[in-house]
Amino acid sequence: MLPRFASLKILFFSALSVLSTLGFSQALSTCDKADLILQMASDFHVNPRPVDSTLSRLTFNSFMESINSRESFLTAEDVAQLNKYKFTAALNGDEGCKLIQDASTIYANRLAALKNLLGELGEAELDFTTDESFNYPTSVMSEEEWTSYWKKTFQIRVLFTAFAQRDSGSTETPSKAEFGAYQKKVSESVICRMEDDVNHFENIESYIANKYLNALSQAFDPHTSFFTQESMKEFEMSLSRDAKSYGLNVYRNSNGDIEVYDIIPGSPAWRSNEINIGDIIVKVESSNESFDDFSCLPMSEVNRIIETGSSESGTFTFRKPSGEEIEVFLRKEVVEVKENTVQTFILDGDAKIGYIYLPSFYMGGADSYSPEGCARDVSLSLIRLKREGIDGLIFDLRNNGGGSMYEALRMAGIFVDYGALSIESAGEPPYQTLKDMDRGIIFDKPMVVMVNTFSASASELFAAALQDRNRAIIVGSQTYGKATIQQVLPLLDYRNGDTTIVPDNFIKLTLGAFYRVTGESHQAVGITPDILLPEFDDYSEYREDHYASVLDCPTINKKTYYFPSDPLPIARLKELSEGRLRASADWQQVGNHDEEENTSVPLGYAQFVALFEEVESLEIPFKDLSDNLPYSIDIPDFVLEINQEENERIKENLSEDPHIAESFLILNDYLQLISQ
């Protein structure tokens, strides 16, 4: 029997080879697409679930969560009408279509009721002197509870708007007329954004169908997903260092306007010399669409218009802080995706430590095996840091959600000489040993790898490979716990023997899993750091094991050859670090997550303002850290020449990061121990 990867490749390439004669399939119904997802997942998923009531329950629960967030959009009666699909939703495409039809009708009715209620609240006289408060619901609500919930939610949105408009330190309550204006603005804004969420699709049924197809995919595991053409483009852009862009980063400010908060150096927007941070986008015109009202659009749609859409050029109208409006024509160019950029600094104290932050394991372009990815960029930075005479390295993978496994393997090879790094499984033997692809080592000095809850997938592969070889001290918090491998494929229709591609439809399918060289898996467990540091909040609920459809990857038996260094003095380093943390009032404050969070929000303006002023007055830990660092933060000459302004801003952020400071002290302890 062929391994799943091999059989899938045969099927996929056979589809490509006959496209000239077969072409693409005709547009398919949602029922057909659901059947194709079930067939592809059943045939090629690394650990396919049976198509039964359990898969249906997982699909139904995920679907309901997507259309009934926080159990606040639908009522108990609405949910009761759909509960009949709880154990049949994934049995076949026809059952899915029945659920979609019924859910679409219920969703449309509920949306109409909510729009009507919000319209009334925009004109109603609300009491902003009340002593009432708001709490999120813990279960589905009756019709009366639903109405009360949305009234209170609306009032909180108005309070936030009023609070954002007030002068700093002002104790004056807005007038009745001012509150009325805020209510009207919030009502119109919420209604039109809700409508736009649906209008992004052809109709409500298309919107609900997309939610269902995604829920069906994710019932197999949290990372199997259904993609449309547009979402596929956004996904590809997130993995590539180079993507076509205008170079604008925007957000919705407190007035609801789309404001420029950053301009990527070297981008078309940067080179125009006409656009500044703080400018407001008033209008965007391209060859195929025009927008002059962004108040209703969700930020996902705004970002599509500005960056990820298909338009190659556009005329932007900006409003300056002075009120002047200017038009700027911009043409997209390939620019470095800012989130995929290596950051390099030197921490100069008792020891001279290089610091590299890698936000993702990005590729060099469309080719997954291009030599131009992040491993090359880090290699160049390390060579230059070695010339600066560094004694060790802090490699920061916090919040690095993964990316290209190929790049993660190449990256690990920078720090080890040869041998096994990981094991890949397609669900059944034979298992494949993933080895260091290049003999030799670029950097062999002591190093710390920083991780946190949001270090996932390729980050975990890298950290585990170095931890198993005693090559690095892993510092931080338990990682995410994702050890599965996905590949994005076109949705294939091979039900009748012939294989055709369904246009503009894709599935990101979990085809395999990777293991440590020991045969153990960190799937749903994560990488346990050698030295734990507390996080500012408890993020454990965001880890892989909190998903209902999480996969289990039991230990496998595979002989590998790897060559660990001598054991690191982890016990002593841990003892020294814990001593510093116990003696620090700031660290003790960070590590205290036991207090219950107060989720009650007052509905009276005076109490609302008092609550936020109380939050703003809370003592922030490490507020004096930047003045007491055990090192200076230097920008290497080879980095400084690229963009001094941007690197000075990053340098300031690094100076306020206690986890970096403690990692420096841990590495300094290690250097002292090995020098004795």
At 506-523, the pLDDT tens digits run 999 999 999 999 999 999
321 and 354: one domain?
A: no
Name the range with the highest mean pLDDT among 275-284, 329-338, 477-486. 477-486
More confident of the two residues 402 and 69: 402
477 and 566: one domain?
A: yes
Contacts of 674 (CB under 8 A, 6+ apart): 446
pLDDT band of 156, cuts 50, 70, 90: very high
Q: Which of 224-238, 498-512, 660-674 is predicted least confidently?
A: 224-238
The CATH number for 361's domain is 3.90.226.10
298 and 405: one domain?
A: no
Decide which of 195, 226, 257 is a domain's last residue.
226
Name the range with the highest mean pLDDT among 185-199, 462-476, 640-654. 462-476
H or E element at residue 305: none
At 563-585, the pLDDT tens digits run 899 999 999 999 999 999 999 99
Decide which of 317, 336, 355 is a domain's last residue.
336
In this prediction, residues 131-157 reach a mean pLDDT of 92
Domain assignment present for residue 272? The answer is yes
Q: Which of 86-100, 295-309, 449-463, 536-550 is predicted least confidently?
A: 295-309
User: Is 368's pLDDT higher than 60?
Assistant: no
Cα(first)–Cα(last) distance of the chain, in Å? 57
The pLDDT score that the predictor gives to residue 19 is: 46
Name the range with the highest mean pLDDT among 282-296, 599-613, 640-654. 599-613
CA distances from 233 to 240, 244, 492, 506, 509 (A): 11, 11, 19, 11, 17
User: Is 242's pLDDT higher than 60?
Assistant: no
Domain assignment present for residue 232? The answer is no
Q: Which of 50-54, 157-161, 385-389, 393-397 is predicted least confidently?
A: 157-161
User: Is 488's pLDDT higher than 70?
Assistant: yes
pLDDT band of 8, cuts 50, 70, 90: low
Domain assignment present for residue 637? The answer is yes
283 and 342: one domain?
A: no
267 and 292: one domain?
A: yes
The pLDDT score that the predictor gives to residue 388 is: 95
Domain assignment present for residue 231? The answer is no
- What's the CA gap between 159 and 181, in Å, rounded? 12
User: Is 439's pLDDT higher than 60?
Assistant: yes
- The domain tally of the chain equals 3
Domain assignment present for residue 182? The answer is yes
The pLDDT score that the predictor gives to residue 657 is: 95
The pLDDT score that the predictor gives to residue 642 is: 54
The pLDDT score that the predictor gives to residue 477 is: 97
The pLDDT score that the predictor gives to residue 219 is: 98
Domain with 352, as residue range(s), is 338-675
H or E element at residue 544: none
Of the CA atoms within 13 Å of residue 1, those in its CB half-sphere come to: 8
Domain assignment present for residue 130? The answer is yes
Domain assignment present for residue 33? The answer is yes
> Sign of the CA dihedral 58, 64, 69, 70?
negative
Structure tokens at 621: 């830990």
- What's the CA gap between 396 and 475, in Å, rounded? 10
User: Is 5's pLDDT higher than 70?
Assistant: no
619 and 522: one domain?
A: yes
Decide which of 307, 336, 365 is a domain's last residue.
336
Q: Torsion-angle region of residue 481: left (phi > 0), alpha (psi -120 to 50) or beta?
A: left
274 and 357: one domain?
A: no
71 and 122: one domain?
A: yes
How high does pLDDT run on average in the chain?
87
203 and 258: one domain?
A: no
The pLDDT score that the predictor gives to residue 506 is: 92
342 and 332: one domain?
A: no
The CATH number for 254's domain is 2.30.42.10
In this prediction, residues 148-167 reach a mean pLDDT of 89
% helix / strand / coil in the chain, to the nearest 5?
A: 45, 20, 40
- What's the CA gap between 354 and 334, in Å, rounded? 30
Q: What percent of the chain has pLDDT over 70?
A: 87
At 246-266, the pLDDT tens digits run 888 888 876 678 888 877 766
196 and 85: one domain?
A: yes
Domain assignment present for residue 575? The answer is yes
The pLDDT score that the predictor gives to residue 675 is: 93
> Whole-prediction pTM value?
0.85
The pLDDT score that the predictor gives to residue 17 is: 42
196 and 324: one domain?
A: no
